[in-house]
Homo-oligomer: A and B are copies of this chain.
Amino acid sequence: MRDFLPEEAKFMKYIEGKARRTAQLYGYGEIITPVLESYELLATKAGEEIRVRMYAFKDLGGRKVALRPEFTASIARLVANVLRNEPKPLRMFCVGSLYRYDEPQQGRFREFWQSNYELMGSIKPEADTEIIMLTNSLMKAAGLKKSVFKVGHVGVLREILSQEKVEDEVQNGIMQLMDKKHYDDALRLVEKAAVSEKCLKTLRRLVKVRGGNVSEVLDKMEGYVEGYERAVDAVRNLREILEFVLDSEEEIDVTVEAGFARGLEYYTGMIFEVYAPEVSTALGGGGRYDKLIELFGGEPTPAVGVAHGIDRIMLAMQKQNTTLEREEEKTVAVIPTKEELKEEELKISRMLRSADISVEVEVMGRKVGKALEDADRRKIDYAIIVGEREMKEGAVVIRNLKRREQKIVKIENLIKIIKGQA
């Protein structure tokens, strides 16, 4: 667990704000679910890997609870219950902290923050497209100069294995090895499952197919999976999704990877991750999961969603030297030359704040010189010195701490000067 001091917290909250605005721009309503949920709910559909790393305990009422390791279970609970009869599509956004007892490493912490978007009720490729596009919008809104999408489709591999009658559990094992890029181990597992020669050959070729020339890669994939009808459908579905993406005129960098898998078992269709070149872990990832809501007791509800790691986006922003908006907002310290002018100082502060200007008042009772020194150290832009002589004329001294210039100005002109309109 870690603390974020102001410099970093500013980044985190900035990204959260951008994520929220992106949600609004795409019509996603925000929901807030509890950090603490029933253990059973969270454990049911989480993979083994997540389940054993949950912070689980009994509350004072003897109920087994846990800190959420992801948002999906909570959202599925809502969709299966309170929102059961809500007309579709349902677009939902949430953002908050999640918990996993991992060994800390670069970009991975036991408490981490995600923004999460879910689009429920649509089986259409444009729904998948939307989730990819809003992720791209968020990356751009956060000011990232470069991000790359890796896209795949679990249907391609799974449908081949299904047609070869490989059991779901074996499939899960194969997909997990694929996810870890242990392709040889994965193929050995396929071999053991007594599949046809053709299947093995197809998979061997497939796992090597990847590249940024989307239609070329998709052509190749479609050729390779010939004869596996539903796998062909999967490739076509992926093609539809990506055609919408690439035709949208939005700048986006996409790589298709036929052997791409994601750790979680609940994906049923398109899957993707987004990376920044400077960060080794994905900044976000998601995909289609059409069976999950049913598993939580809800109506059959197709769904596609994505989660973004806010701390990882921050890392990428820092490595890309991204500048935040509002960074240029001016800050002011107001300093009275003596105790008796405290009230005047407070009045001026209030006036400036009403004009949406950030103001620090002097609360240490320091001499002007000391207070100025401190304001300078903390990179405040302007000091306003409230002195008796000037006050008699309805004026104060304003000092530009960066330029080390000062002048006497009428109080009524202060706001204009600070806002740079005078």
Chain A residues near B (Cβ < 8 Å): 1-6, 8-10, 12-13, 20, 24-27, 29-37, 53, 55, 57-61, 67, 74, 78, 82-83, 87-89, 91-92, 97, 99, 101, 111, 119, 121-122, 124, 126-127, 129-130, 133, 137, 244, 247-250, 329, 331, 342-343, 346-347, 350, 353, 356-365, 374, 377
Q: Which chain B residue shows the least CB distance to A380?
A: B27
When distances are taken between beta carbons in the complex, the residues of chain B under 8 Å from A374 are 87
Q: Which chain B residue shows the least CB distance to A29?
A: B6
Q: Given A9-B30, A32-B4, A126–B88 Cβ distance below 8 Å?
A: no
User: Which of A26, A53, A91 has the most chain B CB within a 10 Å cutoff?
Assistant: A26
Q: Which chain B residue shows the least CB distance to A121?
A: B364
Q: Contacts A6-B29, A8-B32, A13-B30 known; list 15 others, CB within 8 Å.
A: A1-B36, A9-B29, A25-B357, A26-B358, A27-B359, A27-B360, A35-B99, A88-B364, A119-B363, A121-B364, A124-B365, A126-B346, A126-B362, A133-B346, A137-B353
Q: A3 and B78: CB pair below 8 A? A: yes
Q: A342 and B3: CB pair below 8 A? A: no
Q: B59 and A358: CB pair below 8 A? A: no
Q: List 23 A–B pairs whose Cβ atoms lie within 8 Å, in order of A's numbering.
A: A1-B36, A3-B31, A3-B32, A3-B74, A8-B32, A9-B31, A9-B32, A24-B358, A25-B353, A25-B357, A27-B331, A36-B55, A36-B67, A61-B101, A89-B363, A122-B363, A122-B364, A122-B365, A126-B342, A127-B363, A133-B346, A248-B346, A248-B347
* Chain B nearest CB, measured from A241 CB (Å): 12
Q: B6 and A101: CB pair below 8 A? A: no
**In the complex this chain forms, how many copies of it are found?**
2
* Chain B nearest CB, measured from A339 CB (Å): 9
Q: A6 and B31: CB pair below 8 A? A: yes
Q: B26 and A353: CB pair below 8 A? A: yes
Assembly CA distance A359 to B137 (angstroms): 13
Q: B122 and A87: CB pair below 8 A? A: no
Q: A31 and B59: CB pair below 8 A? A: no
